[in-house]
Structure 1
Amino acid sequence: MQKPTPLPTHVLPTVDFLQAVNLLPTVVLSANQVRLEPLTLQHEAGLRQAVQDGELWKMLVTTAPAPEDVAHYIQAAANTRMAFAVIDETTGDVVGTTAFYQPDAAIRRVFIGYTWYRQSAWRTRINTACKYLLLAHAFETLGCRVVNWETDALNTRSQAALERLGAKKDGVLRCHKIRKDGTVRDTVVYSMLREEWAGVKAALAQKLGL
């Protein structure tokens, strides 16, 4: 059997991936008056207000909790992912949350997900700035080779946003996860490679006026 060809050393990141991942609970990122800071119980009241804007917990395809479950949601996030509160610096309000999860040191991969924003923040600079900050950190600080996203097959709004971003659709995982109502969902998987980041970064920076 032919042995796989190793990647050239010049494309391998020099950063310590796991060390950089372990620092994520202390990382604060900001651009275009949007700030991502580690999600803690100090954000509970703001996140509860955010989830009520549009009654997001009633949407089948989101991970948003009911208002009374926000504290538990934050505590659970601390054990399963590297979660951020999304702050609109023009108002100081918590407008949502997003996260890195499932870091893979061997591949140098991380997933971005558990993302939701108050309804009044949809299709604003908020999501554009968040994706810019997360992708820049993933590729330029963590040294990722690839970033992945998973979306419910019914969440066509999220899929359209990822395609506008420049992510590539990899395929569909059938009968992949259980929704909050107990039904089984298919998952659409997207990815972005390090080699694709420069073009995406330039487009995002132009949109944000950076």
Structure 2
Amino acid sequence: MKIAPLVLENRWVRLEPFAPALREDVRAALDVDEAAWSIMVSTAYGENFDPWWDGFVERMAAGRDTPYAVRRLSDGRIVGTSSLHDLFPQHRRVELGSTFYHPVARAGVVNPASKRLLLQHAFDSGIIRVEIITDGINARSQAAIAKLGAVREGVLRRHKITHTGRVRDTVMFSITDQDWPTVRTRLDERLAAFG
């Protein structure tokens, strides 16, 4: 099984698989808010952008990752990224992550609209489990993931080392194919509030 790198679109966002023509727009969207990057496992901030981008493109070519530039349709601006990555075809499992939004796109419709598209694409592709993980110290991210309707499964202690060298605990959430109808309905209701 694989997850095809298709353009995904709804009323609010268009998710475009990474392509050379998007590189500089993605760089501009991500080269902000150094403090937010400080707790990430990897960083696309500043001089780190090129190896970060190149790594995603290589993994996309290998069929492991499907990274997307997130275009806000209200103004056509690339405002961030998100991806379906670390695909395990034999277990029909994928991680939804590597999400970062420019500050102008946070706390609005962009994240739930993007997650709605990515989750639908994953489950339509035959995935039975989508994992969403975040840093144990990132309370804002944990709240956003829970608001999606994902199930908090626990904490993986000393799970990853961030690009700054800090050993982090990881909070694990998931949405399964059995959860998806309920999660989808909640997301649709939430998006309807944006008109």
User: Structure 1 residues 119 and 63 mapped into 2: Cα distance closer, same or farther (>3 Å)?
Assistant: farther
TM-score, length basis structure 1:
0.82
Aligned to 2:125: 142
1:31 aligns with 2:15: no
Matched, 1:122 2:106: yes
How many residues are aligned here?
A: 188
Distance in 1 (alpha carbons) for counterparts of 2:128 and 2:42 = 27
Q: CA RMSD in A?
A: 1.8
Residues 44 and 71, structure 1, Cα contact 8 Å, conserved in 2:
no
User: How far apart in 1 are the matches of 2:48 and 2:38?
Assistant: 15
The answer as to whether partners of 2:85 and 2:94 remain within 8 angstroms in 1 is yes
How far apart are 1:157 and its partner, in Å?
A: 0.9
- Bigger Rg over Cα: 1
Q: CA deviation at 1:66?
A: 1.6
Q: What are the Cα deviations for residues 154-187 of structure 1, in whole angstroms up to 9, with x where unaligned?
A: 1111111011111011111111111111111111
Q: Give 3-state SS (helix, strand or coil) of 1:124's partner.
A: coil
Q: Is the 8 A contact 2:93 2:130 kept in 1?
A: yes
Unaligned 5+ runs, structure 2? 60-64
Q: What corresponds to 1:76 in structure 2?
A: 55
Q: CA deviation at 1:53?
A: 4.0
Distance 2:20 2:52 in 1: 10
Identity of aligned residues (%): 34
Q: 1:58 deviation in Å?
A: 4.4
Q: Select 1:132's aligned residue among 116, 119, 123.
A: 116
Distance 2:37 2:176 in 1: 34
- Residue 75 of structure 1: CA displacement? 1.0
Q: TM-score, normalised by structure 2?
A: 0.88
Alpha-carbon distance in structure 1 between the residues aligned to 2:33 and 2:77: 16
Q: Mind listing any 5+ residue stretches in structure 1 that lack a counterpart?
A: 1-17
Is the Cα contact below 8 Å between 2:32 and 2:45 reproduced in 1? no
